[in-house]
Structure 1
Amino acid sequence: MPKLRSWVLVMINESPRSVSFDVMKVSQPIGDFFIGKMSAKELIDISWFDVRKKIGNDDLDEYLGIQRTVNTKRVEEIARYVRLPDATFPTAVVLAVEGRTVALDEICKSDSPGSFYKMTLTNVPGDHLDANTVLFRGIARVLDGQHRIRGLQESDINKEEFDVNVCIFVDADIADQAGIFATVNLAQTKVNKSLVYDLLSYSKSRSPEKSCHTVTVLLDSTEKSPFYKRIKRLGVATDGRFGEVLTQATVVQALLPLLTKDIIRDREIGKTTGHWSAAGPYDPDLLIFRRWFFEEKDGLIADQIMHYFEAVRRHWQRQWDDPQPGEILVRSNGFRALMSLMRPMYNALKSHEGDFVKMSSFYEIIKNIDIDGDAINSRNYLPGTGGERSLFKDFLRASGLADYD
């Protein structure tokens, strides 16, 4: 016990430590704050996360903290993402620091005196029970960016060579800090995923997302396609079109699991070598389009999907061509359920790896699915993943493909 107590005291009563970096002062209605850059290592060393939690056990429960609970999956994804050759965090991590930890030395670099400074952040050593103590690791409260910081912390990159731009508020009270967090996370418009996928057409390297975007464009632009002019390329209705039933994001996200199990790894290969021989073995029954992805045969993937959905359209033609309110066969849940059905149906029909299955072969199975098209609606299959999964299971049973799931 004495040894443990001694170790704790050594850790708490740390020596004075500091970190310095250049900043620019910015004045806005909320007040002044500072923009600068730090290495990932420096940022990790001084940051702490005030995760919101409930205290008490009665009707007067109070909540402390500002940050959301950590999403471990997102942290893992970021830890892998920062290893990519084109990794970037262009938006600032937002921090709050106490004025007593800050020293500013003006730098004369422009015609605007007082705009540029050398900022030094220093701990305030002392007993950990003393409210005046500020540990080095506790200098900066993170208002926005905790997942980026945790992802950087978990990654195996050289953290001294990865710069992060930071936005620092000095002596902002807790109400202002909470307001800043709410503004950053609620007031900004979320980027439309369909638009993000559409922008992948500008990428010079191949990736699963870019291939799925190419396939989606072919499905939407090919006159013989069951999806001809029926996909919202940018996620919103296209001017001059009527009858668009799916967003590009819905199509891409349903197609990706048929090409890849590791999007980030495949994106990295596309950026570095463009050859997937090093990607290792894969299960062709699970990733039915992966071989064609390797071979850059995006057009063949699109053709295979067209043949499959043309068989679907012929079996439920009225519901496909003229969906009524509430009918979901050709809408998001119906489409996703049918995409899930495509894998076992393809595996049941292919003669060997890489075979192209014709529409007529798909139709021989689909024509025997005795589910009334009028019953494929949002009342029987509720919106969300539960309704989608239920519809898929019904398709699977009715098609006699349960052994292939």
Structure 2
Amino acid sequence: MEVINEQFIDIKCIKATQPIGQMFIGVIDSEDLEKITYADVRRLSEGSENREVEDYIGIQRKLDTKRAKNEIGKYVNLVDATFPNSIILSISSENAKYIENEGVLRILYKDDIAKVLDGQHRIAGFEHYNQSRGTFELIVTIYIDMELEDQAIVFATINKEQRNVSGSLVTDLFAFAESRSPQKTGHNIARALNNKEGSPFYNKIKILGNADSSSETITQSTFVESLLKYITKDKQSDRDFYRRNKEKKHAKLEYVDPKEADRLFLRNIFIDDETDIKIAQIIWNYFWAVQQKWPIAWNEPANNNILNKSTGFIALMRFFKLAYLSFNKRDEVITKEEFKSIFDLIDLEENDFNRQKYVPGGIGQSALYNDLKTQSGL
């Protein structure tokens, strides 16, 4: 039971230790939880100059006020309302202290001291709770002094697994990582190619997966996942290696097993080139050749055009492996002209890249890949 002592609230907690660090699991009254997180939840819908995680990477975690009021706000007042899942919070040690011998987490009772990593809609719904119905307690999991990177990873993990949040948003959150990882490499390259004038991907990648611009035709998650399959077979293990060895400046992953050298043909470059420039240049050169071969189909965002959308892009990324390996120049940058020499062999015309010939999805991707392979002779 929570007891408010002047400016503090005491929560009986169980302390748990996991690889990411310690967490405190407890129960808090919904009214008290709304108090300490209220401003944080509201700023998700109203905007603020102090959104920390959101501002840092340019995301906007919007609060659906209609859902909070019409769905959750009504639900919390039902006779059998329940929220069995934990709400996840991050609080600074300046505002919270664990009293070991009492098993109590003492939290400053003040607006906006708890960062909501998961559960903002549930909390906002309690603005509409009828307090005359009595106490409504909620389960909370609290992290103390959690770094921005870890906040991002927890948010990404929870939402990726539970609510089908945009894969591009999840990818974007890896930008927080202080240590190297395949995910961060994918993110860096996607952003660099999207932002650089003259790039074949200039303003083409939907960095957050929810952009409104008609020129953005490829989601960041599609871009990154298509790239990472040539860099790693276990991106989580690679990330874990760098995290565990981040204090060791010269720590390196093992080079690719020769048996997998064709499948993971970018892995050794990833390991050696910590700036990611080399891989980015290879991708740039390859898609420059695509753009030169089919400038209208690559640049035109029309609905019936598939070349610059996921169907065409995934097929081109599959063909990318054949094109790169055909030069037998392992771990080197293949030039624009070298890639162009391959596309010069292909007879497909601009108007071939339509939904009728290449049906959106796996069937169309395979059909286009096979046509590229056959016509190029690779």
Task: Give the alignment of 1:336-347 within 5 angstroms.
Answer: 336-347=314-325
Alignment match, 1:190:
164
Q: Does residue 1:269 correspond to 2:317, yes or no? A: no
Change (3 A) 1:278 1:90: farther
Q: Which amino acid aligns with 1:253?
A: E
Kindly indicate whether residue 349 of structure 2 is the aligned counterpart of residue 375 of structure 1. Answer: no
Matched, 1:334 2:312: yes
The answer (yes or no) to whether the contact 1:233–1:247 under 8 Å persists in 2 is: yes
Task: Tell me the distance in 2 between the aligned counterparts of 1:267 and 1:214.
Answer: 15
* Match in the other structure for 1:224: 198
Q: Note if contact 2:256-2:264 (Cα within 8 Å) is conserved in structure 1.
A: no
Matched residue, 1:396 = 373
1:29-78 CA distances to partner (integer Å, 9 max, x unpaired)? 343758799xxxxxxxxxxxxxxxxxxxxxxxxxxxxxxxxxxxxxxxxx
Deviation for aligned residue 1:166: 8.8
* Alignment partner of 1:206 is 2:180: yes
Equivalence for 1:357: 334
Q: How far 1:373 moved relative to its partner?
A: 2.5
What residue identity is the alignment partner of 1:217?
A: R
Are the structure 2 counterparts of residues 327 and 26 from structure 1 closer, same or farther at C-alpha, using a change threshold of 3 Å? Answer: same
Question: Which amino acid is the alignment partner of residue 265 of structure 1?
Answer: S
Map of 2:27 onto structure 1: 24
Deviation at 1:354, TM superposition (A): 0.9
Cα distance in 2 for partners of 1:198, 1:309 equals 22
> Which residue in 2 is equivalent to 1:257?
229
Partner Cα separation in structure 2 for residue 224 and residue 216 of structure 1? 14
Structure 1 residue identity aligned to 2:369:
F
**Partner-residue secondary structure (3-state), 1:24:** strand
CA distance in 1, matches of 2:229, 2:244: 22
Evaluate the alpha carbon distance shift between residue 35 and residue 23 of structure 1 in structure 2; reply closer, same or farther with a 3 A threshold.
farther
C-alpha contact 2:28 2:140 (8 A) present in aligned 1: no
Distance 2:299 2:82 in 1: 57
User: Superposition pairs for residues 102-117 of structure 1, below 5 Å?
Assistant: none
CA 223–166 in structure 1, closer or farther in 2 if over 3 Å, else same? closer
Shift of 1:385: 1.4
- Counterparts of 2:83 and 2:207 in 1: how far apart (Å)? 39
The letter of the residue matching 2:324 is Y
Partners of 1:315 and 1:256 in 2: how far apart?
Answer: 25
Residue by residue over 1:209-254, the C-alpha shift from the partner in whole angstroms, topping out at 9 and shown as x without a partner, is 110000101110111211111111111225xx55111111111111
Q: Is the 8 A contact 1:308 1:359 kept in 2?
A: yes
1:294 aligns with one of 244, 263, 271: 271
Instruction: Give, in whole Å, the separation in 1 of the partners of 2:328 and 2:197.
Output: 26
Kindly indicate whether the alpha-carbon contact (under 8 Å) linking 1:24 and 1:34 is maintained by their aligned counterparts in 2.
Answer: no
Scaled by the length of structure 1, the TM-score of the pair is 0.53
Separation in 2, partners of 1:33, 1:324? 47
Cα gap change, 1:280/1:246 in structure 2, threshold over 3 Å: closer, same or farther? Answer: closer
CA distance in 1, matches of 2:319, 2:85: 51
What is the distance in 2 between the residues matched to 1:383 and 1:294?
A: 35
Instruction: Label 1:36 to 1:337 Cα distance change in 2 as closer, same or farther (>3 A).
Output: closer
1:3-402 to 2 correspondence within 5 Å? 24=27, 28-30=76-78, 31=80, 190-237=164-211, 241-274=213-246, 275-278=251-254, 281=257, 283-295=260-272, 296-351=274-329, 353-401=330-378
Structure 1: where are the runs of 5+ without partners?
Answer: 1-20, 38-88, 92-106, 111-164, 168-184
Query: CA contact under 8 A between 1:319 and 1:329: conserved in structure 2?
Result: yes
Question: Residue 375 of structure 1 aligns to which amino acid in structure 2?
Answer: D
2: CA distance, partners of 1:324 / 1:166: 47
Q: Structure 1 residues 272 and 330 mapped into 2: Cα distance closer, same or farther (>3 Å)? A: same
Identical aligned pairs, as a percentage?
Answer: 33
Give the drift of 1:374: 0.9
The runs of 5 or more residues in structure 2 that have no matched partner are 1-13, 15-24, 31-75, 90-101, 106-138, 142-158
Shift of residue 281 of structure 1? 2.6
Matches of 2:193 and 2:267 in 1, distance apart? Answer: 18
Is residue 293–residue 344 contact of structure 2 (8 Å, CA) maintained in 1? yes
Residue 280 and residue 310 in structure 1: after superposition, are their counterparts in 2 closer, same or farther (change >3 A)?
A: closer
